[in-house]
Amino acid sequence: MNTKKNKPLPVGRPKRKDKDNTKAPSVERGTIPGDKRKTYIVKTETADKVDAIAYWDRISIKDVVGEAFENHIDAWEKKNGPLKVPKKSS
């Protein structure tokens, strides 16, 4: 109990203002700054293997997928040169 006001202390983690910003686009809500939520369709066997790698390496699925993406992009750029990301129209 909080002795100053006799109110119970809050339970759990404090809410992050940058994470729970209701003004942020929906793909960014609930993520850390610089991250974006995306959905991709993959073969079941591939998804199961990604889950297994994350389990055995004790890291998040997000980290496994991110590393795989980065490795593929690096290899692509070595072969083809710097990647030009097209601007999205609003």
pLDDT band at 90 (very low <50, low <70, confident <90, very high): low
Output DSSP code: residue 67.
H
Give the pLDDT confidence score for residue 33 in this predicted structure.
78
SS (H, E, C) 6-66: CCCCCCCCCCCCCCCCCCCCCCCCCCCCCCCCCCCCCCHHHHHHHHHHHHHHCCCHHHHHH
Give the pLDDT confidence score for residue 11 in this predicted structure.
79
Q: pLDDT per residue over 6-33, tens digit each?
A: 777 777 766 666 555 666 676 677 777 7
Output DSSP code: residue 89.
P
Q: pLDDT per residue over 37-63, tens digit each?
A: 889 999 999 999 999 999 999 999 999
Give the pLDDT confidence score for residue 10 in this predicted structure.
75
Task: Classify residue 85 by burial, with Cβ atoms within 10 Å: 0-12, 13-18, 19+.
Answer: exposed
Q: pLDDT per residue over 58-78, tens digit each?
A: 999 999 999 999 999 999 999
Give the pLDDT confidence score for residue 57 in this predicted structure.
97
Closest CA to 27 of 37, 35, 19: 37
Instruction: Report in angstroms the alpha-carbon separations of 22 from 4, 31, 36, 57, 89.
Output: 32, 12, 15, 34, 23
